[in-house]
Amino acid sequence: MRIEEPPQLAADLKTIKLPTVAAHWERLALEAHKRRQPHADYLAELLALEVAQRREGRIRRLTQDARFPVLKTLDGFDFAAQPTLDRDAILDLARGDFVRERRNVVLVGGVGTGKTHLAIALGLACCQRELRVRFTSAAELTNLLVEAKAEGRLSRKLEQLARYDLVLLDELGYVPFDRHGADLLFGFVTKVYERRSLVVTTNLPFARWSEVFLDATAAAAVIDRIVHHATVLKTDGDSYRLKAARQGGRKRKEVEPT
Ligand code: ADP
Ligand code: MG
């Protein structure tokens, strides 16, 4: 059985931009013929394929635009290593409602305890829900803002950042800013406050945020704005990598021939 291609079909599909339909109509038509599938079902199946491909493409683009330094998932997170962390709360956040509700997440904990991993995994989950996400570090963001300000395009930069539904702000507290940088970062938080969501990772307890913002009043204002609508999660214990390396070492020893 051969299917005669309608002369105008390829051009029409191109005009209205249905590449997946163009690629699959013939194969599915043959199958429909074999299975005696009703025309309406054939049409629905073909369009569902187009819709699914488009969604996949959008998610791929959103994931690229997010500029994750590496891809990490919640499936790849070993919750057993963080027994005090509320797993259900994190799985719940991964549904993305916190972004739609303009709420924030703060991940506090020591080095290597999985804060960045969790932030990326939450970001990726939000990309899969078709939310616009941007990963950056506090240092990188501050540099961007300092540069933009110097070039007289600070407000444009802030507008551009405020277009993301969710900004992941990694490593707040590792680098002390100067006064100018601290003020710009403060300006950013004020700008996104109640309009967009932030996921902040930090090694500093709130009591020490004045070291980042170089000023107790600004720190208090930031804490007030971010934490006011936030889920605060603490990661603790030893560095996961160190622990894994130590365990790996032990395991290797055990299998060594004596
Ligand atoms: P932090 O940002 O808190 O310093 P990271 O998230 O960068 O720590 O974690 C360091 C490394 O250890 C990363 O490769 C991360 O994937 C891994 N890691 C940390 N905690 C876990 C965990 N509970 N399960 C799986 N991998 C983890
Ligand atoms: Mg980190």
77 C-alpha to ligand 1 centroid (Å): 8
52 C-alpha to ligand 2 centroid (Å): 34
pTM value > 0.85: yes
The per-residue pLDDT for 241 is 79
pLDDT in tens, 118-157: 999 999 999 999 999 999 999 999 999 999 999 999 999 9
The burial class, CB within 10 Å (0-12 / 13-18 / 19+), for 199 is: buried
Q: Answer whether 188's CB lies under 8 Å from 222's CB.
A: no
Closest to 76 in 3D by CA, of 45, 38, 114:
114
List, in order, residues 6 or more apart from 14 with CB less than 8 Å away.
Answer: 22
The per-residue pLDDT for 253 is 40
Q: Which two tokens stand for residue 81?
A: 């290593």
- Cβ density class 94-128: b for 16+ within 10 Å, e for less: bebebbeebbbbbbbbeebbbbbbbbbbbbbbbbe
Does residue 170 line the site of ligand 1, with CB under 6 A? Answer: no
CA of 118, closest atom in ligand 1: 6
Distance CA 152, CA 83 (A): 48
What mean pLDDT do residues 248-258 have?
44
Nearest CA to ligand 1 atom 27: 114
Examine the pLDDT at 234 and tell me if it is beyond 90: yes
Q: What is the DSSP string of 208-242?
A: GTHHHHTSHHHHHHHHHHHHHTEEEEEE-SS-HHH
Give residue for tokens 């997170």: 77
Nearest CA to ligand 1 atom 20: 114
pLDDT in tens, 32-80: 999 999 999 999 999 999 999 999 999 999 999 999 999 999 999 999 9
Q: Are strands 133-137 and 104-109 parallel, antiparallel or unpaired?
A: unpaired
Closest to 102 in 3D by CA, of 24, 190, 197, 17:
197
